[in-house]
């Protein structure tokens, strides 16, 4: 099953887009901003604000469009048709980040163009995932979905290891030099899904509707969710808080480790490798845990691991504690994707699955606005307190996870 052409092509796109996520969102874009902006403790907080606000802007646009993407899936059953152009735009914008950072002589203009390109790249990267995630129900049956989900995430995190091969080109400075190679690697490993994955047969269109009418359909789905699908409604709220914490931590962990805990660039890369290995192991193992104990218990276990990781990272005064936090966070980050995707599939009716995945992308991306805005605002308002501002900002994520656990435990669930 794992080596069939549709499955391996699907999994390799997880591999490809994780290269973008790790290299750009998590590591080299934050390092670039710290290098250009952060000259002392106060300016490091400003750099953190730039990082989180640019992530929030990209998520804002996804909030507007992701529900419509879900409706497109349900109307046409076409996923690859939209994934390919979205991925190509993201790849192009990633390469342009490197072009602007390298060849624009005016530092301010170059910074603005890099920020703009990042917002575009991240928006279209996340948009492609709205079409990618529902593909899992096309390549496996209900019993295979948890294993495929774990397999895809594990293969994806292997992409992190390949992505980090650009580090020797960068070293401890000139972090913008990682942007163009990252875009090329993103393209290279996306090619299998471009050429070998085939969409399911197109659905028969009974009534032609305008694209914007999708908002009405999404509103009806949301009303149905509240009245008829209480479980998925409560889980969407829980996922909002979980994803809020995860997405924010991903975007700031590099600059937090360097500026607050004192990691060098090389030491952080090593920490990230260990976290990635933890993600690979955790995602694959949690595929089996989810199948055996049920998705709800598995999500609860992952949330507790995430909570412990954030508590340790917030109070970490030495690198040893942060190593523990990073390893636990890696397990939680990989496993949350596995367990939550399976939970969505189990709780949603098949005929509305595209819209529900769209709504979950909507929920996740709203949280990707809120979390970074909270973090960035705390670091901006309290910047004069130096490193304490970042610790308080990271501590705010603990509250979000606790809120997520509260709503998740209220989800009515019967193991499939």
What would the two tokens of residue 131 be? Answer: 């079409």
Q: Is pLDDT at 195 greater than 80 in this prediction?
A: yes
Please compute the mean of the pLDDT values over residues 195-220 and round it to a whole number.
Answer: 67
Please compute the mean of the pLDDT values over residues 152-172 and round it to a whole number.
Answer: 82
Per-residue pLDDT, 202: 63
Which are the contacts of 365, defined by CB distance < 8 A and separation ≥ 6?
59, 62, 63, 66, 126
Average confidence score pLDDT of the chain:
85
Per-residue pLDDT, 207: 56
Q: Which of 44, 266, 18, 25 is nearest to 157 (CA)?
A: 18
Q: 3-class DSSP state for residue 185?
A: helix
pLDDT band with cut points at 50, 70 and 90 for residue 206: very low
For tokens 């709205």, what's the residue? 130
pLDDT band with cut points at 50, 70 and 90 for residue 119: very high
pLDDT in tens, 320-367: 999 999 999 999 988 887 888 788 888 877 777 766 776 776 777 778
pLDDT band with cut points at 50, 70 and 90 for residue 13: very high
Per-residue pLDDT, 155: 84
Alpha-carbon dihedral angle through residues 398, 400, 402, 407, given to the nearest 10 degrees = -170
Cβ atoms of 338 and 287 closer than 8 Å: yes
- What are the residue ranges spanned by the domains of the chain? 7-195+218-409
Angle, helices 353-381/319-347, rounded to nearest 10 degrees: 150
Give the span between the Cα atoms of 194 and 91, in whole angstroms. 13
Cβ atoms of 189 and 8 closer than 8 Å: no
Could you tell me the maximum CA-CA distance found in the chain, to the nearest angstrom? Answer: 63
Sign of CA dihedral 139, 145, 148, 152: positive
Q: Is pLDDT at 240 greater than 50 in this prediction?
A: yes
Per-residue pLDDT, 203: 57
Higher pLDDT, 197 or 28: 28
In the chain, what percentage of residues exceed pLDDT 90?
32
Per-residue pLDDT, 358: 66
Alpha-carbon dihedral angle through residues 223, 227, 229, 231, given to the nearest 10 degrees = 110
Please compute the mean of the pLDDT values over residues 232-250 and round it to a whole number.
Answer: 89
Question: Out of 37-41, 129-133, 157-161, 384-388, which region has the weakest mean confidence (pLDDT)?
Answer: 37-41
Cβ atoms of 263 and 27 closer than 8 Å: no
Give 102-157 as a DSSP string. HH--SHHHHHHHHHHHHHHHHHHHHHHHHHHGGGHHHHS-TTTHHHHHHHHHHHHH
Please compute the mean of the pLDDT values over residues 29-37 and round it to a whole number.
Answer: 89
Per-residue pLDDT, 383: 87
Q: 70-82 b/e with 16+ CB inside 10 Å = b?
A: bbbbbbbbbbbeb
What would the two tokens of residue 231 be? Answer: 């479980």
Give the span between the Cα atoms of 11 and 148, in whole angstroms. 9
Q: Please give the DSSP secondary-structure letter assigned to residue 200.
A: P
Cβ atoms of 247 and 239 closer than 8 Å: no
Give 265-305 as a DSSP string. HHHHHHHHHHHHHHHHHHHHHHHHHHHHH-HHHHHHHHHHH
Higher pLDDT, 262 or 399: 399
Which are the contacts of 165, defined by CB distance < 8 A and separation ≥ 6?
none
Whole-structure pTM value: 0.80
Q: Which among 148-162, 175-189, 202-216, 246-260 has the top mean pLDDT?
A: 175-189
CATH of domain 7-195+218-409: 1.20.1250.20
Q: Is pLDDT at 40 greater than 90 in this prediction?
A: no
Please compute the mean of the pLDDT values over residues 20-30 and round it to a whole number.
Answer: 91
pLDDT in tens, 252-308: 888 899 888 888 888 998 998 888 888 878 887 888 898 888 889 999 999 999 999
Question: Out of 2-6, 17-21, 100-104, 397-401, which region has the weakest mean confidence (pLDDT)?
Answer: 2-6
Alpha-carbon dihedral angle through residues 198, 199, 204, 207, given to the nearest 10 degrees = -140
pLDDT in tens, 49-70: 889 899 899 988 888 887 778 7
Q: Is pLDDT at 175 greater than 80 in this prediction?
A: yes
């Amino acid at each position: 099953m794992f080596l069939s052409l549709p499955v391996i092509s699907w999994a390799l796109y997880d591999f490809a887009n994780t290269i973008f996520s790790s290299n750009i969102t998590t590591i080299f874009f934050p390092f670039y901003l710290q290098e250009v902006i952060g000259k002392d403790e106060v300016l490091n907080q400003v750099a953190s604000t730039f990082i989180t606000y640019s992530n929030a802007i990209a998520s804002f646009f996804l909030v507007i469009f992701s529900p419509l993407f879900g409706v497109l899936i349900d109307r046409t059953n076409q996923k690859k048709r939209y994934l390919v152009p979205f991925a190509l735009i993201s790849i192009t914008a990633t390469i342009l980040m490197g072009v602007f950072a390298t060849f624009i002589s005016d530092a301010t203009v170059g910074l603005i163009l890099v920020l703009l390109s990042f917002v575009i790249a991240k928006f279209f990267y996340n948009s492609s995932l709205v079409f990618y995630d529902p593909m899992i129900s096309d390549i496996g049956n209900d019993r295979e979905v948890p294993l495929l989900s774990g397999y895809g995430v594990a293969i994806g995190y292997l992409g992190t290891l390949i992505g980090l091969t650009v580090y020797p080109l960068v070293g401890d400075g000139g972090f913008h030099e990682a942007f163009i190679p990252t875009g090329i690697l993103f393209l290279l490993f996306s090619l299998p899904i471009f050429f070998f994955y085939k969409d399911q047969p197109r659905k028969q269109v009974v009534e032609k509707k305008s694209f914007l009418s999708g908002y009405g359909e999404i509103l009806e789905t949301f009303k149905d969710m509240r009245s008829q699908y209480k479980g998925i409604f409560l889980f969407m709220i829980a996922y909002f808080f979980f994803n809020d914490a995860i997405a924010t931590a991903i975007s700031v962990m590099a600059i937090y480790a360097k500026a607050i805990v004192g990691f060098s660039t090389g030491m952080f890369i090593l920490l990230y490798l260990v976290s990635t290995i933890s993600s690979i192991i955790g995602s694959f193992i949690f595929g089996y845990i989810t199948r055996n104990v049920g998705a709800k218990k598995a999500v609860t276990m992952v949330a507790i691991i995430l909570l412990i990781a954030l508590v340790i990272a917030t109070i970490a005064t030495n690198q040893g504690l942060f190593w523990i936090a990073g390893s636990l966070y890696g397990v939680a980050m990989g496993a949350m994707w596995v367990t939550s995707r399976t939970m969505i599939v189990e709780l949603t009716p098949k005929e509305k699955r595209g819209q529900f995945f769209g709504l979950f992308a909507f929920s996740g991306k709203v949280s990707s606005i809120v979390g970074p805005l909270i973090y960035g605002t705390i670091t901006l308002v309290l910047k004069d307190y130096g490193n304490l501002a970042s610790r308080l900002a990271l501590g705010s994520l603990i509250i979000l996870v606790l809120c997520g656990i509260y709503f998740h435990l209220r989800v009515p669930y019967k193991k499939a």
